[in-house]
Every structure is written in structure tokens, then in C-alpha cells.
């Protein structure tokens, strides 16, 4: 054996800082050679339009999803890619990045993290725990230092980090996971108790997931809300919104606003501005996919905000958030988006802005399209 010899690696996808960029450049150039183009709204989504069919390719590093108008065209695309790369065709989509994809009836789809949740519960010794109906207690208000420091901060960070990935199929966890994630730098015992409550809740919804139904509607409907000054430590507000394409929930968010709002109106306007940005991005993407959409409808339960958005007169109470106000007004006046009032009892975003009662939480679950997979 010659101990002075070493292996010379010519190419590698993993391990080098420039490898992901080089790989994506190689893949995108190949797809462009095959007639595809990347969308401006999402550079990892490639499309190819022709008179007979349409093909889509979604790329995440070296995991690729393909679909199109006809199965023969998709099979031809896979055969073409095999001539350029060593790849393995896994057949119809059933798992992608840890998400289980189940087909229901004809073209309905159910996305879930069943195996991922079971593995997380196993690692935290919670497989035999009692299920809870909600992820957070209705009356709880988390703050930084109201108990002793948690003894295992690495465990806290691991579990909260794992919970954040679940938000892809569990929108109703958005608020609770967002709250516990705000204390990852210095977790205390009462923070860990809330994390365990979330795990107890997951025990009862292992088989739940996000349902997508086939429908002919291309309308965009959004709901926006804000909980003003709810944070105990810094008095910052919480923004929550969700966006539906037809009857399917496709975008949602729950996050703490970056600065303190002087009034509830200011907090609501920041939430509306945030969801408008999401809506405009979605419109841009659908336009690139040649999918026409009517003017989106945005619902808020704050009547004063709705009236102020159409009132051209600037009031003294609105001078501190003029940028958000003008941004919203501009798109409303140009009829890009219609802002409408909705009674508070019909506000579906409440679970994304605050802890709510058990009855309200369960009644809103189906409206957020999180259901058990039907046979």
C-alpha cells in the first residue's frame, strides 16, 4: 500500500460552497436548452409552453418535481433529462422533502407530515402522551423571564426548529410555534412547557394535513388581522394573514411586527400591507403561468381600517404610518385589490394572531383546510 497516494475528486455536488450554485447553473442551462424558462417570481420554477401542452419543473437542489398537461409529455421530459444526468424516476409524487403527498378521489391532494411527526414524538419521548385539543392555552401570555432557565437549551432549539418545518402543512401551528421561537436564545421552563403542549397537540392530529381540491375558480381571497400590543416584553403587535386560491389555502403567515405600533389601526395597516405584498407576488406568478385572475378580495374585521383606506383625507392619527397607508390606498384606488369588511366572528385568521378558545379553534380548523385524509 502506497501511503503517499490520495484521491483526486473531479466534481462534487455537496461539500463545497460553490457547489450548489454550480449545480443549479448546470441544471438551469440544460432546462433552457430543452425549451424551458425560469419564472421571474420564483427562479426555481421552470415552465415550457407550446401549442399542445404545458410542462412545469420545480427544483429544490437535486430534488425535482415535474408535471404537465399530458403524461406522455412528462415521460418524454424525464427521458430527455436522463440523457444529461444520472437520475432516478420515483414515479407519481408521493413524498417530497419530508412531505407525504396522497391523492384523493380523482385530482384532490392531501399533504401531511405523518411520519415526520411520529419521528419527532419518538425523539422527545412523547409517543405515549395524551393529546390536547389546542396547541396553546387560551389565557397564556408568554414573556421572557417568569421562571427559571431551562436546563437543556439545545433540546429546546432542536424541537422548536423541527416544529417550524411542520408549518408547511399545519397553518394553525403558526402562532404558537412563532411565539416559542422568539425565546430560542434564552429558553425558560415555562417556554418549554408550551413546547410540550404543542407536542401533545400534535399527538392528536398526526394524520391531519392540508387538503387541496380541484376547482375551476381562479379567484384570490385573503384575510388579514393583527393583535395590537400583545407582546408582554416589548408591546409589539402580531400580524396574521392567509391567502386562498379558489377554495385552497396556499399562503399564510404569523409573525411579530418589527416596531411598536401607536394604535390598533397602525398595526392593522401593517398586516394589510404584508398580505398585499403576498397577493401581488401570487398575481405575478399566476400571470407568468398564463392563469388569469380577477381582482383579489381582502377581508379585514377592522371597519375603521377599511373606511380609512378609501378616504383621501389624511388624519393626524394616520401620519405615523403614511407609507403603508399610501401603499394600500394606491392598489385599492387602481382596483388591483378590493378591501372589504368582515364581522369578527367570520375572521379565519384568529388562530394565527392569538391563542383562542377550544371551541373557536376547532370550528376554524376546516376553514384553514386542515383535515384528516379521507379514504
User: Which of 41-50, 72-81, 186-195, 213-222 is predicted least confidently?
Assistant: 213-222
How many whole angstroms separate alpha carbon 226 and alpha carbon 170? 20
Decide yes or no: CATH 3.30.420.10 for domain 216-342.
yes
Q: In the structure, what pLDDT confidence band is assigned to residue 12 with cuts at 50, 70 and 90?
A: low
Q: In the structure, what pLDDT confidence band is assigned to residue 316 with cuts at 50, 70 and 90?
A: low
pLDDT digits (tens, 9 = 90+) for 136-170: 988 888 888 878 999 999 999 999 999 999 999 99
Mean pLDDT within 238-265: 91
Cell of 231: 407582546
Q: Is the pLDDT of residue 375 over 60?
A: no
How many whole angstroms separate alpha carbon 346 and alpha carbon 298? 13
Q: What is the mean pLDDT of the chain?
A: 87
Q: Is the pLDDT of residue 320 over 60?
A: no
% the chain with pLDDT above 90:
51
How many whole angstroms separate alpha carbon 331 and alpha carbon 189? 46
How many whole angstroms separate alpha carbon 358 and alpha carbon 47? 44
For the ranges 5-14, 156-165, 340-349, the maximum mean pLDDT occurs at: 156-165
* H-assigned helices in the chain: 19-33, 71-82, 114-123, 153-166, 174-181, 189-204, 264-288, 303-310, 322-333, 358-365
Q: Tell me 258's DSSP state.
A: S
Indicate where the chain has its CATH 3.30.420.10 domain(s): 216-342
Amino acid at each position: 500500500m502506497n501511503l503517499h497516494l490520495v484521491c483526486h475528486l473531479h466534481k462534487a455536488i455537496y461539500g463545497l460552497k460553490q457547489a450548489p450554485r454550480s449545480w443549479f447553473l448546470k441544471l438551469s442551462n440544460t432546462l433552457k436548452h430543452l425549451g424551458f424558462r425560469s419564472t421571474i417570481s420564483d427562479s426555481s420554477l421552470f415552465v415550457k409552453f407550446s401549442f399542445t401542452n404545458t410542462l412545469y419543473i420545480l427544483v429544490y437542489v437535486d430534488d425535482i418535481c415535474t408535471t404537465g398537461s399530458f403524461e406522455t409529455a412528462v415521460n418524454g421530459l424525464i427521458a430527455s433529462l436522463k440523457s444529461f444526468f444520472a437520475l432516478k424516476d420515483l414515479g407519481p409524487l408521493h413524498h417530497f422533502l419530508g412531505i407525504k403527498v396522497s391523492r384523493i378521489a380523482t385530482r384532490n391532494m392531501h399533504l401531511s407530515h405523518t411520519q415526520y411527526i411520529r419521528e419527532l414524538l419518538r425523539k422527545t419521548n412523547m409517543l405515549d402522551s395524551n393529546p390536547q385539543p389546542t396547541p396553546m392555552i387560551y389565557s397564556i401570555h408568554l414573556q421572557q423571564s417568569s421562571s427559571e432557565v431551562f436546563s437543556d437549551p439545545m433540546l429546546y432549539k432542536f424541537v422548536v426548529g423541527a416544529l417550524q418545518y411542520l408549518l408547511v402543512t399545519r397553518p394553525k401551528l403558526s402562532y404558537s410555534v412563532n411565539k416559542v421561537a422568539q425565546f430560542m436564545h434564552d429558553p425558560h421552563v415555562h417556554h418549554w412547557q408550551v413546547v410540550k403542549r404543542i407536542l401533545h397537540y400534535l399527538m392528536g392530529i398526526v394524520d391531519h394535513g392540508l387538503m387541496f381540491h380541484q376547482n375551476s375558480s381562479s379567484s384570490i381571497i385573503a384575510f388579514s388581522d393583527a393583535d395590537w400590543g400583545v407582546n408582554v416584553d416589548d408591546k409589539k403587535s402580531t400580524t396574521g394573514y392567509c391567502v386562498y386560491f379558489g377554495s385552497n389555502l396556499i399562503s399564510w403567515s404569523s409573525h411579530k411586527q418589527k416596531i411598536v405600533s401607536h394604535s390598533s389601526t397602525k398595526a392593522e395597516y401593517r398586516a394589510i400591507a404584508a398580505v398585499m405584498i403576498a397577493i401581488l407576488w401570487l398575481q405575478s406568478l399566476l400571470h407568468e403561468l398564463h392563469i388569469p385572475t380577477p381582482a383579489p378580495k381582502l377581508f379585514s374585521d377592522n371597519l375603521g381600517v377599511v373606511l380609512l383606506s378609501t378616504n383621501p383625507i389624511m388624519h393626524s392619527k394616520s401620519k405615523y404610518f403614511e407609507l403603508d397607508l399610501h401603499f394600500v390606498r394606491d392598489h385599492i384606488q387602481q382596483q388591483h385589490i378590493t378591501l372589504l369588511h368582515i364581522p369578527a366572528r367570520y375572521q379565519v385568521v384568529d388562530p394565527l394572531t392569538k391563542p383562542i378558545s377550544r371551541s373557536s379553534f376547532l370550528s376554524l380548523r376546516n376553514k384553514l383546510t386542515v383535515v384528516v385524509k379521507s379514504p
